[in-house]
Structure 1
Amino acid sequence: MSQLLHKAKDFVSDKIGDVVKPEASVTDVDFKRVTMDSAEYLAKVCVQNPYSTPIPICEVNYSFKSANREIASGTIPDPGSLKAKDRTMVDVPVKVPYSILMSLARDIGADWDIDYQLDLGLIIDLPVIGNFTIPLSQKGQLKLPKPF
């Protein structure tokens, strides 16, 4: 009985491994707006759905890092669905408190920008397979809004 279960597990793993899965990429991370206590940025993620049916996005997890430390993180529950056989843009807002930005003053320097790394986990619900996470990572520089 154990051998039969092991063979069935291997068969299913092989078949699922060959299934075409949605692909995603971070297309842009840019300044959005300033509030009284934070700077808000917007990451745009493009997701290609190869299936002829829409796929629900369960949630998006993000971690925004600078100078080797996490400065913002969060979860966006139920951000919508991926269009069938099409590309879907998913917006991921990132809110960074000024208190944390000011503690990064050494990195900001004279050019008033910060080096960042954005790590995302896009969790989608694939038929038969179940929840599937598309991991993404983007590095770059962001300009900070100039003080008044």
Structure 2
Amino acid sequence: MSSLLGKAKDYVSEKIADMKKPEAEVLDVDLKDVSRSCIIYDAKVSVTNPYSTSVPICDITYCLKSNSREIASGTVPDPGSLKGKDITMLDVALKVPHNVLMSLAKDIGADWDIDYELEIILIVDLPIFGNIRIPINSKGEIKLPTMSDLWTK
């Protein structure tokens, strides 16, 4: 009996490993808004859904780092769903407090940008299989707003 259960477990594990999963990538990170408390950057995330039906997104969590130090993190609750057999564009708002930017003065002063590493985890709810975590990583540079950016908002 235990041999039969072992074979069934192996079969299911193999099928899950071969199962197509949604794929995602960060396309761009740009300035979205400047407020008194923070600067908000917008991460454009492209997600491809291989299934013919829409798939609900449970959560999107993010962690923005610079020089291996976390400068922003958060969760986007109830971000909607992925369209069936299509590409869905998601906007993830990254809120960076002003006081954190001041602590990065050495990196910022050289070229007026932040070298960043962005880690996003997209949690989708697949029928039968349950919640699946899709990790997305991106590295690049975020330009800081200039004085003209602050006055034109």
Normalising by the smaller structure, the TM-score range is over 0.9
Shift of 1:9: 1.1
- Aligned to 2:111, the other structure's residue is in SS state coil
Shift of 1:3: 2.6
Instruction: Report the Cα distance in structure 2 between the residues aligned to 1:91 and 1:5, rounded to whole angstroms.
Output: 44
Shift of 1:5: 2.2
- Aligned to 1:119, the other structure's residue is in SS state strand
Instruction: Report the Cα distance in structure 2 between the residues aligned to 1:2 and 1:63, rounded to whole angstroms.
Output: 43
Unaligned runs of 5+ in 2: none
Identity of aligned residues (%): 62
Shift of 1:13: 0.6
Partner of 1:141: 141
Amino acid at match of 2:139: K
Aligned-residue RMSD, C-alpha? 1.2
Amino acid at match of 2:61: N
Between Structure 1 and Structure 2, the one with more helix by share is 2
- Aligned to 1:79, the other structure's residue is in SS state coil
Partner of 2:81: 81
Instruction: Report the Cα distance in structure 2 between the residues aligned to 1:35 and 1:4, rounded to whole angstroms.
Output: 61
Partner of 1:52: 52
Amino acid at match of 1:75: T
Q: What TM-score do the two structures reach when normalised by structure 2? A: 0.92
Q: Give a deviation string over 1:89-138, Cα, whole Å, max 9, x none.
A: 11100000010000000111232111000000000011221111110100
Residue pairs, 1:1-148, within 5 angstroms: 1-147=1-147
Unaligned runs of 5+ in 1: none
Report how many aligned residue pairs link the two structures: 148
Q: What TM-score do the two structures reach when normalised by structure 1? A: 0.95
Q: Bigger shift: 94-103 or 107-116?
A: 107-116
- Aligned to 2:20, the other structure's residue is in SS state coil
Instruction: Report the Cα distance in structure 1 between the residues aligned to 2:131 and 2:47, rounded to whole angstroms.
Output: 16
Amino acid at match of 1:64: L
